[in-house]
């Protein structure tokens, strides 16, 4: 089986590489747009290169799917793949804010087996192993157990009028960190209504689920990974008791929206 300590060490080093390039630590960062509205920076590429080399050596049989590497569909023939977002929350990273993380997941037969988020600007390391639980900085996590949707804590900058019975809490730019917040009982609900990529949520959804949260796409379906088209419409992570109510509330919007809204 995989060397877990080596994996943790590799991910921690990836976080250090990113931190040493982070404007919040005083670095003069080079950044640009891959396409309008899609920022990328030198740290994305440096971390991606490092992880591709080191994780490839750690588990040579695994395929590779990363935000910053051209997709090689040979991964579809592999039972294991590395699923990587070198910097999740690039906007916060570029602005010198702390809401970013390095996200690494090992996916087996379409399901995350191991998930790690390295968030050095927040002094946080999140880990999960399928069937064994989730931890932050070595402390085992227990997800939100909220019973009622009204009043649920949502990491967001604003709420639509129809959702103002919910409660806003601090929102890191990283969707992975927002999902992990449900696992640490710092949020009750995270929901997106847009097309998102597997690398954004692979590690975090395992962390939330292993902590006891309910996790699905926007329609309540199981999230599958290592698909030919590595996208899903929306993600919901929440306290189990409010999952059905959240799906019902969002159903009309999910059916109508073509892609770019967040709750």
**pLDDT above 90 covers what percent of the chain?**
87
- Residue 129, sorted as left (phi over 0), alpha (psi -120 to 50) or beta, turns out to be beta
pLDDT of 111 above 90: yes
90, 77, 114: which is closest to 1 by C-alpha? 114
Helix, strand, coil fractions of the chain, as percent rounded to 5 = 35, 30, 35
pLDDT at 261 (0 to 100): 44
pLDDT at 110 (0 to 100): 94
* Segment (H or E) for 168: strand 167-169
Give the C-alpha separation, 188 to 102, whole Å.
23
Cβ pair 238, 152 in contact under 8 A: yes
Give the C-alpha separation, 88 to 178, whole Å.
11
pLDDT at 2 (0 to 100): 87
Sorted by sequence, the CB contacts under 8 Å of residue 258 that are 6+ apart come out as none
The pTM (predicted TM-score) of the whole model is 0.95
Give the C-alpha separation, 181 to 117, whole Å.
12
Pairing status of strand 189-197 against strand 167-169: unpaired
Which tens digit of pLDDT belongs to each residue from 233-247?
999 999 999 999 999
Which tens digit of pLDDT belongs to each residue from 139-190?
999 999 999 999 999 999 999 999 999 999 999 999 999 999 999 999 999 9
pLDDT at 189 (0 to 100): 98
pLDDT at 257 (0 to 100): 84
- Three-state SS at 47: helix
- pLDDT band at 258; cut points 50, 70, 90: low
Give the C-alpha separation, 246 to 251, whole Å.
8
81, 183, 53, 55: which is closest to 124 by C-alpha? 183
Which tens digit of pLDDT belongs to each residue from 49-95?
999 999 999 999 999 999 998 888 889 999 999 999 999 999 999 99
Give the C-alpha separation, 105 to 221, whole Å.
20
Task: Provide the mean pLDDT of the chain.
Answer: 94
pLDDT of 260 above 50: no
């Amino acid at each position: 089986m995989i060397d877990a300590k080596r994996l943790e060490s590799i991910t921690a080093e990836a976080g250090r590489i990113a931190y040493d390039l982070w404007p919040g630590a005083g670095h003069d960062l080079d950044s640009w747009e891959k396409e309008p509205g899609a920022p990328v920076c030198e740290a994305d590429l440096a971390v991606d290169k490092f992880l591709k080399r080191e994780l490839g050596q750690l588990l040579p049989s695994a395929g590779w799917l990363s935000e910053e590497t051209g997709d090689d569909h040979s991964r579809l023939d592999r039972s294991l793949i590395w699923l990587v977002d070198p910097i999740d929350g690039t906007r916060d990273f570029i602005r010198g804010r702390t809401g970013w993380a390095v996200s690494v997941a090992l996916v087996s037969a379409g399901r995350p087996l191991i998930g790690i988020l390295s968030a050095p600007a927040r002094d946080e390391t999140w880990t999960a192993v399928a069937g064994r639980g989730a931890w932050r900085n070595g402390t085992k996590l227990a997800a939100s157990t909220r019973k009622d949707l009204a009043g649920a804590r949502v990491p967001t900058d604003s709420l639509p009028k129809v959702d103002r019975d919910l409660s806003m809490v601090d929102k890191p730019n990283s969707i992975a960190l927002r999902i992990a917040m449900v696992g640490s009982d710092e949020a009750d609900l995270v929901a997106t209504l847009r097309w998102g990529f597997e690398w954004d949520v692979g590690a975090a959804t395992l962390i939330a689920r292993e902590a006891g949260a309910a996790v699905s796409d926007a329609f309540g379906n199981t999230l599958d990974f290592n698909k030919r088209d590595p996208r899903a419409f929306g993600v919901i992570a929440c306290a189990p008791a409010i999952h059905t109510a959240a799906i019902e509330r969002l159903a009309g919007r999910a059916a109508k929206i073509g892609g770019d809204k967040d709750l």
